[in-house]
Amino acid sequence: MQERYDEAITILEKVSRLNKTETPDRPALLKALISMKKLTPRPAADEENQKSSDGGRSSSFVAKWKPFFGSSAMTRITVLVPLVWFLQGFCYIGIPLNANNFVGSSFLYMVIASVGELPSPIIAPPMAQRFGRVNSLIFLMVSCSICSLLRLAVPEEMVWLHLVLVLLGMISISSAFLIGFCQVSELFPTCIRGQGISIGSFVGHISYVIAPYITDILAVMSPIVPNAIFGVCGLVAALLIYFLPETNNLRLCETVDDVKKRSKGDW
């Protein structure tokens, strides 16, 4: 995209050697890269920045956001992804922070919560490949939600059962987080992928700031509040994920128009 063709060719050749595949000769690769560059339209924000003067800052600002809301398919992704990451972040950070409301050993609680993150790199990739991103995320978020809600019905003296539910909840939300990162990079087209992931990450990190107030302040009012909130967040996230497009086994979209085609099933 930055017309650094020699570097790109060198990297492609290295990748080819590592994967034991064949590539065209350098002139053919160069021709292909130049062709790709010509076929990829520049983001509207860049074009507008070149045309605008000092008095055209407002139009430039609108142009920067136009690709994110230029179609119903892009609007759905732009709105839903940050909301899903916000709700996932609540559960991911909130469950460990809820250790201070545990009737048993808080140290044991944190150990169990930490152990719950270990299986996720083994579980998430094959699950996402076998069942798809959307179905896997829905299942994992519902599982996390059920674990949090079941803790409301478990007597406090059954410490071991609480720990089992914490373990299962952390396995679910940690696996969902890994799949979510992969899914988001596939949802946004190449021309705005970096900005799209940044928006989702920014909104998701807001939940990291709010979660301690749930586990520390609202828990004083009622100890059931944190688990109830985490359970509801998991269910709402699963509902929102249902409306995101499936990207499993599909090639990445390069432009906003490609996202439109994907939403119509032409990709």
Cβ proximity of 159 and 44 under 8 Å: no
d(CA 156, CA 110): 17
Category of 20 on φ-ψ map: left (φ > 0), alpha (ψ -120 to 50) or beta: left
Cβ proximity of 87 and 240 under 8 Å: yes
d(CA 129, CA 67): 29
Q: For domain 72-263, give the CATH number.
A: 1.20.1250.20
Residue 81 confidence (pLDDT) above 90: yes
**Could you tell me the two tokens for 80?**
């839903």
Q: What is the pLDDT of residue 42?
A: 55
Cβ proximity of 96 and 115 under 8 Å: no
Reported pTM: 0.79
Q: Which contacts of 229-233 are long-range, i.e. CB under 8 A and separated by 24 or more positions?
A: 229/90, 229/94, 230/90, 230/91, 230/94, 230/95, 230/98, 230/144, 230/145, 230/148, 230/169, 231/145, 231/146, 231/148, 231/149, 231/152, 232/145, 233/87, 233/90, 233/91, 233/145
The pLDDT tens digits for 95-134 are: 999 998 898 899 999 999 999 999 999 999 999 999 999 9
Rounded mean pLDDT of the chain?
A: 89
**Could you tell me the two tokens for 14?**
């290295």
pLDDT band per the 50, 70, 90 thresholds, residue 45 = very low
Of 54 and 243, which is predicted with more confidence? 243
Count of positions (residues) in the chain:
267
Category of 253 on φ-ψ map: left (φ > 0), alpha (ψ -120 to 50) or beta: beta
d(CA 48, CA 57): 9
The lowest-confidence range among 32-46, 102-116, 178-192, 208-222 is 32-46
The pLDDT tens digits for 206-257 are: 999 999 998 988 888 888 899 999 999 999 999 999 999 999 999 999 888 9
**Could you tell me the two tokens for 178?**
């890994």
pLDDT band per the 50, 70, 90 thresholds, residue 140 = very high
SS3 content of the chain, % helix, strand, coil (to 5): 80, 0, 20
Q: CA geometry: angle at 1 spanning 5 and 267, to 5°?
A: 115
Which residue in the block uniquely carries the two structure tokens 């899903």?
84
Q: What is the pLDDT of residue 183?
A: 94
Q: What is the pLDDT of residue 1?
A: 74
Q: What is the pLDDT of residue 220?
A: 83
Domain ranges of the chain: 1-39, 72-263
Residue 11 confidence (pLDDT) above 90: yes
DSSP 99: G
